[in-house]
Amino acid sequence: MVIIEDLKLVIKNKTILDNINMKLEEGQIYGFVGNNGCGKTMLMKCICGFVKPTVGKIVADGKEIRKDCDYLENAGVIIENPGFIPYYSGYRNLKILSEIKGIIDKNKIRETMKNCGLDPYLKLSVKKYSLGMRQRLGLAQALMEEPKNLILDEPMNGLDKNGVNDMRELLLRLKTQERLIILASHNPADIEILCDVVYEMDNGKIVAEHKMSKI
């Protein structure tokens, strides 16, 4: 569970986020929607611990982020453009990342790549990947260690129709495994199909909360 209390972020005398309060629980997909610059990405960065709020706090499973822990623990993240070593293959990039924690083996990496629509044995360097392939690789790195928390900023960006459908099905399966999933998307269909609760943002504030019907 992630609880955000009275969060405010001011950068260079400009209010980026203002009076954000929310309670995010496992087994749910939460959507953040709004125009570019409304604060969605910055709120995600605060939740992850990448940016420290000016006022307020974010508590995840009883630990205050940037106080009791540096970052949101047990999290898979895609924010903005995923970065990889361009002259290595997709598999080698993920293998290097997996060695930081050392909790998964090469078979799990390959399985995750396949689930994300990538060939783990492809020798093609990442610099030669298409936009869609890069996005699939970003999803694979976020998912491969089976994190409890997923923070996904425009995860369908660059995917073709089949890729979008595959990712939607995958996220819905993960939700049944009691994951907490936070999603930002400009595609109304992603929000409608995936999200249980949607927060509409404008000028750094939550202006509306919608509970989505899943009948």
pLDDT at 159: 87
Q: Which domain holds residue 40?
A: 1-74+148-215
pLDDT at 214: 58
Cβ partners under 8 Å of residue 69, min gap 6 = 49, 60, 63
13 and 29, same structural domain?
yes
Identify the residue whose tokens are 């609760």: 197
115 and 174, same structural domain?
no
157 and 119, same structural domain?
no
Q: Is 51 helix (H, G, I), strand (E, B) or coil?
A: coil
pLDDT at 21: 96
Q: Last residue of a domain, which of 116, 146, 176?
A: 146
137 and 153, same structural domain?
no
pLDDT at 212: 84
**Over its length of 215 residues, how does the chain's per-residue pLDDT go in tens digits?**
999 999 999 999 999 999 999 999 999 999 999 998 899 999 999 999 999 999 999 999 899 999 999 999 999 999 877 789 999 999 999 999 999 999 999 999 999 999 899 999 999 999 999 988 999 999 999 999 999 999 999 988 888 888 899 889 989 999 999 899 999 988 899 999 999 999 999 999 999 999 987 55
137 and 100, same structural domain?
yes
137 and 162, same structural domain?
no
pLDDT at 83: 83
DSSP per position, 120-144: TT---BGGG--HHHHHHHHHHHHHT
Task: Please give the C-alpha separations between residue 123 and each of 1, 133, 157, in angstroms, as whole numbers.
Answer: 40, 13, 24
pLDDT at 196: 95
101 and 54, same structural domain?
no
Look up the CATH number of the domain holding residue 180.
3.40.50.300
Q: Based on the structure, what is the number of domains in the chain?
A: 2
pLDDT at 171: 92
Residue 43 lies in a domain: yes
pLDDT at 105: 95
pLDDT at 48: 95
Take residue 177 and report the two structure tokens written for it: 């495994």
pLDDT at 59: 96
Task: Please give the C-alpha separations between residue 108 and each of 64, 103, 111, in angstroms, as whole numbers.
Answer: 31, 10, 5
Question: Which residues partner with 59 through β-bridges?
Answer: 3, 64
Cβ partners under 8 Å of residue 99, min gap 6 = none
